[in-house]
Amino acid sequence: MLISLLIAAAAAPCDTSLTLPSGFCATVFADSIQGARHIVVAPNGTVYVTVTSGVMALKDTKGAGRADAMAHVGDIGGTGIAIHAGYLYVDVKSAIVRYRLTDDLAPAGGPDTIVRDLPTGGHGSRNIAFDRAGMLYVNVGSRTNSCQSGDRQNQSPGIDPCTELDTRAGIWRFQSAKPNQTPATGEHVVTGIRNAMGLALNPMDGKMYATQHGRDQLAQNWSALYTQADGDENPAEEFVRFADHDDFGWPYCYYDNRYKKLVLAPEYGGDGGHKIDRCAQKQEPLVAFPGHWAPMSLLFYDGNTFPAKYRGGAFIAFHGSWNRAPDPQAGYRVVFIPFAKGNPSGDYETFAIGFSGKDPLFVPTDAAHRPCGLAEGPDGALYITDDLHGRVWRVVWKG
């Protein structure tokens, strides 16, 4: 079904509620797209967004910088979405399906199931990415917070070994076109990532990168070891580069922003940030961020319409915290990490802020918006989604 939106052809104005570096303009590409999560843009400019009830296809047919036509695809809402070899791949909770793309707004025909029997519950978002060889990577987040005997219970010990790691808290790899694969027939390539909501290929070096959501409730569950301030800022949210067989430590370890290292979690005998123990063998992050910012998506900028410093660098959208109360929440921004010679070349910087609309913010549902998805258009524009109230921005360089 195709729906025409009654929007004038005049160019959309810059949305001044967002603060961007000088020379950039964010316009509202679409609004009230309920549950807008991850996003991808086809070579013909059609924008696909995962939503509560499937996928919305959006297109600017008038060159005004905002959608004036839309179509609904599917009926199961998820998070992950990607385009590869002429197909649209979509997370539908317990499966990854794909649709054949055409020049029409909506894909032709029904979906084919590429991966099935993905575990549900807990961290249920199944975000996806492709490597240079066309292999499909799928995040399978943990079922629990920190693999405790009693999930999120005070001073409950960790299960050791954590049996979740056999089927969750990692990244799996699959063939891109083979139907009806399962986690048991795919490759379990990375372990110890609690929830890798950002997955991306860096086109500059051909390597795969991810973000990690750190665990919650250090101070709440282990008040004898951590103050409220300790728990606000820890553990770090992580930006990592991964290769086959890497282990990033969850649930046994977490990266402590105070001591700048991986340390042993209290559920496994940790003492509040000093013991390292088994964590010495785990992979450390490339960049560590403040606790609970919630990195939701990752994008390497490959366009040439932004200033040169952005080419090859990484954008990360942070959903914002929910668990710093009674202190103010934090995050709610998009950051940029410059890259050079295959590595971060400087400190991260805030690229877009103003989403929360309130300062200080104590309850996330009071925020104006919560950043979630990132995508690059064929013209080099940057798209950002908000899954709280369904806004989609298009950011361009005007100089």
Is pLDDT above 90 for 56?
Answer: yes
Residue pLDDT, tens place only, 125-156: 999 999 999 999 999 999 999 999 999 999 99
pLDDT attached to residue 108:
81
- Which SS3 state, helix, strand or coil, does residue 393 take? strand
The mean per-residue pLDDT over the stretch 304-315 comes to 97
Mean pLDDT of the chain: 96
Would you say residue 31 lies in a domain?
Answer: no
- Which SS3 state, helix, strand or coil, does residue 150 take? coil
What CA–CA distance (Å, rounded) separates 395 from 377?
10
The mean per-residue pLDDT over the stretch 318-326 comes to 96
What CA–CA distance (Å, rounded) separates 85 from 102?
12
The mean per-residue pLDDT over the stretch 379-398 comes to 98
Least confident interval from 102-106, 187-191, 292-296: 102-106
Is pLDDT above 60 for 109?
Answer: yes
The mean per-residue pLDDT over the stretch 308-337 comes to 97
What CA–CA distance (Å, rounded) separates 100 from 342?
34
pLDDT attached to residue 7:
38
Would you say residue 6 lies in a domain?
Answer: no
Q: Which domain holds residue 178?
A: 38-49+76-391
- Cα 21 to chain centroid distance, Å, stands at 22
State the CATH number of the domain containing residue 133.
2.120.10.30
* Number of neighbouring beta carbons within 10 Å of residue 234: 25
pLDDT attached to residue 2:
39
The mean per-residue pLDDT over the stretch 308-324 comes to 97
What residues pair up with 200 in beta bridges, in sequence order? 209
pLDDT attached to residue 84:
98
Is pLDDT above 60 for 5?
Answer: no
What CA–CA distance (Å, rounded) separates 202 from 312?
8
pLDDT attached to residue 11:
77
Confidence of residue 10 (pLDDT cuts 50, 70, 90): low
Is pLDDT above 70 for 343?
Answer: yes
Please check whether residue 248 is in contact with residue 238, taking contact to mean a CB–CB distance below 8 angstroms.
yes
Using alpha carbons only, how large is the chain's radius of gyration in Å? Answer: 20
The mean per-residue pLDDT over the stretch 264-279 comes to 97
Confidence of residue 357 (pLDDT cuts 50, 70, 90): very high
Would you say residue 7 lies in a domain?
Answer: no
What residues pair up with 208 in beta bridges, in sequence order? 201, 242
pLDDT attached to residue 241:
98
C-alpha pair distances (Å), 30 with each of 26, 66, 189: 12, 6, 37
Would you say residue 3 lies in a domain?
Answer: no
pLDDT attached to residue 142:
98
Is pLDDT above 90 for 3?
Answer: no
- Which SS3 state, helix, strand or coil, does residue 232 take? helix
What CA–CA distance (Å, rounded) separates 285 from 246?
12
> For the chain, what is the domain count?
1
* Number of neighbouring beta carbons within 10 Å of residue 244: 11
What CA–CA distance (Å, rounded) separates 284 from 116?
31
Is pLDDT above 50 for 8?
Answer: no
Greater model confidence, 369 or 8: 369
Would you say residue 397 lies in a domain?
Answer: no
- Which SS3 state, helix, strand or coil, does residue 156 take? coil
Is pLDDT above 80 for 209?
Answer: yes
Least confident interval from 1-10, 21-30, 253-262, 297-306: 1-10
pLDDT attached to residue 328:
97
- Which SS3 state, helix, strand or coil, does residue 281 take? helix
pLDDT attached to residue 354:
98
pLDDT attached to residue 288:
98
The mean per-residue pLDDT over the stretch 76-104 comes to 97
Would you say residue 259 lies in a domain?
Answer: yes
Is pLDDT above 90 for 225?
Answer: yes
Would you say residue 169 lies in a domain?
Answer: yes
Would you say residue 271 lies in a domain?
Answer: yes
